[in-house]
C-alpha cells in the first residue's frame, strides 16, 4: 500500500520524514506474522499504528484486541491473557478463556509491555516461540495462532538492566522495531494537526473553525507536548468550546492553557544563535515587554507600600540585612534613592516635599510577609475569576449538562459540583 493512501484511509496527519519512515515500516511489515515493537511517548499514535498493521494484514477479518498491561492488576493478568481452570484460585468459579484463546487467528496489541509482571513475561515468551500456553491451574497446554504487537513508552533496555524486563523477550519482541516520533520531533506537523482537529471540533460543536495568528503558531510549535497528539487534540477541543476568540493569539491560548507559557522561555537555540525568524523574536520581545510591565507594577506597588506605611527609602551603606528587598537596592549600581527617583514609571514621589529623613527603611519580616500575602491573595482572585469564567462558559456551551462540562474542563463531576456551589452558579 502506498504511503499517502494509507494516511488518507487511517486519518494519519503529518508529512515529516520521521513519521513517514515509521508508517512505511508499519505498512511493509503488516502482511507478515512478525512480532512488532512500537516505541514512542504517550499519545504519539502507537495504538493507531497497531490497528493499521492489523487492518492491512491477512488477519484483518479476525479479532483485534488492545490490552494495557499497566492497567490490569498483577494478580489477574495471567488469567486475563491465558484463561483459568475452575477452582484454580479463590473466585475462579468456572473455566474461563483468556485472550490468547479467544483472539485465536487475530492480533493482540500489548500496550505498556514494560509493566508486564516477570512471570507473565515468561508465559508470553513461550507462546511467541511455540504457540503454546497453559491456562492458570491447568496441566495440559493449548495452542493458538496470535500475532503480537507490543508497545512501550519507556526504555526497555533500562528495565532489563534493573531486572524488570526479560532480555530474551525483548529480543523476541524487537524483531521489527518501529519508533513513532514525538510531536516535538516533528514540529512541522503541529499546525497541520491543529487545523484538522479545529475542523473536526468546529463540526462537532457547530462553531466556526479556530484560526491561529503567526505568533500563536510559534507558541504551539515550541511547546514540548509531553502528551503529544492526544494533548494537542484535547487542547483544541477545550479552545473550541471555551474560547470566545476564533482567531487565536498567544494570550488566548495561554488564558486557557497557562502551562504553554513555558515554551516562551528562552531555549538553547535562542541563546546561542540568532532566532531563525523575525516573528520568533517578536514573540520573545512581547514576553519581555510583559515582564517589564510586571516589574514596573511591582515597583509602583513597593513605592506605595513605602509611602502609605510612612516608611523611608534606604540610605547608602545602612541597609545591610537579610532583607531581600533592601539588599536589592544595595546592589543597584545607580545607588539607592536614585534607583526609584530616576525611574520614568515612578514620578509619584517627591522626596523633598514629603520631607523624608535620611534614615534607612527596613522592610522588616512583618512587612515582607504582608507584601507576600497581598500578592498571593491577588493571584488567587485572578485564578478564581478565570476558573469561574471557564465554568460558566462550559456550562453554557453544554446547556447546563454537568457531565460534558466537567469533561471539557478536565475535572471530575464532583469537583464541578463543588465549584458550582462555591461560585454560587446554581440557577
Binding site residues, Mg ion, CB under 5 A: 47
How far apart are CB 47 and Mg ion at their closest, in Å? 5
What is the C-alpha separation between 125 and 127, in angstroms, rounded?
6
Residue 330 contacts ligand ADP per CB under 6 A: no
How far apart are CB 105 and Mg ion at their closest, in Å? 24
230 binds, among ligand ADP, Mg ion, none (CB under 5 to 8 A by kind): ligand ADP
Residue 16 contacts ligand ADP per CB under 6 A: no
- C-alpha dihedral sign at 304, 305, 308, 313: negative
Residue 65 contacts ligand ADP per CB under 6 A: no
Q: Which is nearer to ligand ADP, 11 or 163 (CB)?
A: 11
What is the C-alpha separation between 25 and 56, in angstroms, rounded?
12
Residue 181 contacts ligand ADP per CB under 6 A: no
| Contact residue for ligand ADP among 1, 3, 13, 202 (CB under 6 A) | 13
Cell 477545550 belongs to: 238
**Other C-beta atoms lying within 10 Å of the C-beta of residue 141:** 14
88, 136 in Cβ contact below 8 A?
yes
76, 117 in Cβ contact below 8 A?
no
Residue 40 contacts ligand ADP per CB under 6 A: yes
Which helix (H) or strand (E) segment holds residue 348: the answer is none
How far apart are CB 156 and Mg ion at their closest, in Å? 16
- C-alpha dihedral sign at 64, 66, 69, 73: negative
Q: Which is nearer to Mg ion, 47 or 318 (CB)?
A: 47
Q: Which is nearer to ligand ADP, 48 or 138 (CB)?
A: 48
Q: What is the DSSP string of 123-189?
A: HHHHHHHHSEE--BT-SS-EE---EEEEEESS-HHHHHHTTSS-HHHHHHHTTEEEEPPPSGGGGGG
- DSSP secondary structure code for residue 208 in this structure: P
Residue 221 contacts ligand ADP per CB under 6 A: no
| Contact residue for ligand ADP among 6, 22, 29, 44 (CB under 6 A) | 44
Q: Which is nearer to ligand ADP, 230 or 299 (CB)?
A: 230
| DSSP-based three-state secondary structure for 102 | helix
Binding mask 294-323 for ligand ADP (x = CB under 6 A): ------------------------------
Pairing between β-strand 132-133 and β-strand 142-143 as defined by DSSP bridges: antiparallel
What are the residues binding ligand ADP (CB under 6 A)? 11-14, 40, 42-48, 193, 229-230, 233
Amino acid at each position: 500500500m502506498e504511503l499517502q493512501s494509507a494516511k488518507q484511509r487511517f486519518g494519519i496527519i503529518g508529512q515529516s520524514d520521521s513519521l513517514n519512515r515509521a508508517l512505511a515500516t508499519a505498512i511493509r511489515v503488516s502482511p507478515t506474522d512478525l512480532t512488532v515493537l512500537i516505541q514512542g511517548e504517550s499519545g504519539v499514535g502507537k495504538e493507531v499504528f497497531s490497528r493499521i498493521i492489523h487492518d492491512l494484514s491477512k488477519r484483518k477479518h479476525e479479532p483485534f484486541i488492545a490490552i494495557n498491561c499497566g492497567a490490569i492488576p498483577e494478580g489477574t493478568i495471567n488469567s486475563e491473557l491465558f484463561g483459568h481452570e475452575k477452582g484454580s484460585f479463590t473466585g475462579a468459579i468456572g473455566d474461563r478463556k483468556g485472550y490468547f484463546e479467544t483472539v485465536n487467528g487475530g492480533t493482540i496489541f500489548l500496550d505498556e509491555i514494560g509493566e508486564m509482571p516477570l512471570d507473565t513475561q515468561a508465559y508470553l515468551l513461550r507462546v511467541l516461540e511455540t504457540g503454546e500456553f497453559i491456562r492458570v491451574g491447568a496441566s495440559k497446554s493449548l495452542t493458538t495462532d496470535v500475532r503480537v504487537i507490543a508497545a512501550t513508552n519507556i526504555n526497555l533496555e533500562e528495565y532489563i538492566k534493573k531486572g524488570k524486563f526479560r532480555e530474551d523477550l525483548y529480543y523476541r519482541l524487537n524483531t521489527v522495531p518501529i519508533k513513532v516520533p514525538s510531536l516535538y520531533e516533528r514540529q512541522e506537523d503541529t499546525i497541520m494537526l491543529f487545523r484538522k482537529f479545529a475542523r473536526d471540533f468546529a463540526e462537532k460543536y457547530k462553531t466556526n473553525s479556530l484560526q491561529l495568528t503567526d505568533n500563536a503558531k510559534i507558541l504551539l510549535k515550541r511547546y514540548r507536548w509531553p502528551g503529544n497528539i492526544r494533548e494537542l487534540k484535547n487542547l483544541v477541543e477545550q479552545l473550541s468550546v471555551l474560547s470566545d476568540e476564533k482567531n487565536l493569539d498567544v494570550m488566548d491560548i495561554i488564558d486557557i492553557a497557562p502551562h504553554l507559557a513555558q515554551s516562551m522561555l528562552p531555549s538553547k537555540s535562542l541563546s546561542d544563535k540568532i532566532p531563525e525568524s523575525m516573528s520568533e523574536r517578536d514573540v520573545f520581545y512581547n514576553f519581555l515587554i510583559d515582564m517589564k510591565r510586571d516589574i514596573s507594577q511591582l515597583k509602583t506597588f513597593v513605592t506605595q507600600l513605602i509611602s502609605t506605611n510612612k516608611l523611608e527609602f534606604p540610605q547608602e551603606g545602612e541597609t545591610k540585612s537579610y532583607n531581600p528587598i533592601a539588599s536589592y537596592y544595595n546592589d543597584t549600581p545607580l545607588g539607592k534613592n536614585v534607583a526609584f527617583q530616576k525611574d520614568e514609571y515612578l514620578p509619584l514621589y517627591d522626596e523633598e516635599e514629603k520631607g523624608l529623613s535620611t534614615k534607612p527603611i527596613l522592610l522588616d519580616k512583618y512587612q515582607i510577609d504582608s507584601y507576600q500575602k497581598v500578592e498571593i491573595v491577588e493571584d488567587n482572585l485572578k485564578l478564581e475569576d478565570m476558573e469561574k469564567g471557564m465554568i460558566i462558559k462550559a456550562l453554557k456551551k453544554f446547556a447546563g449538562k454537568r457531565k460534558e462540562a466537567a469533561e471539557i474542563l478536565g475535572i471530575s463531576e464532583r469537583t464541578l459540583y463543588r465549584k458550582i456551589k462555591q461560585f454560587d452558579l446554581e440557577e
